[in-house]
Amino acid sequence: MYPRRRIIVFCAVALVAAAGSCVARAQEPAAPARASSASPSTSASSSKPSKKKYSHANDFLIRGTVFNEQALSFPGVKLRIRRAGEKKFRWESYTNSRGEFAVRVPQGSDYEMVVRAKGFAEQTRAVDAKSGDYEGNLVFRMQLEGGDKK
């Protein structure tokens, strides 16, 4: 029994030593990164021109709710937003389980929001993001295609 204990202890020590060396190797690349960040003037000057940080502090928030023909919340409705006068939609989202949505867009332009759901008529609304407000609330009441009510 004594040799078995010695083997078990030896294996445990070997595992701990191997784990320690793996941790040490995993931390080695982090040390040079800290050293390069110690001199912010060199790293900041090289990364500034290539990538700009964008702050969402002044964005315009378009939020609202979509209801179906029975005045119930309508989850899963597709929302697409584009700048007024453009053809390409730049923002896309879906309503959540409560039929609500919220999309941030840059302030200072007019936008057009298109709401679409299968079996319902597509609706379009203009959104004015130039007014100085930081949010706009919209409510959509979807109508069945063809105007037929069941």
42 lies in the same domain as 76: no
36 lies in the same domain as 80: no
37 lies in the same domain as 84: no
Of 81, 132, 69, 87, residue with least CA distance to 111: 81
H or E segment and range at residue 60: strand 60-67
Q: How many separate domains does the chain show?
A: 2
Confidence of residue 18 (pLDDT cuts 50, 70, 90): low
11 part of a folded domain: yes
Q: Answer with the residue of higher pLDDT: 79 or 17.
A: 79
Domain span holding position 105: 60-147
> What CATH number does residue 64 fall under?
2.60.40.10
pLDDT digits (tens, 9 = 90+) for 84-142: 999 999 999 999 999 999 999 999 899 999 999 999 999 999 999 887 778 889 999 99
This prediction has a pTM of 0.60
70 lies in the same domain as 125: yes
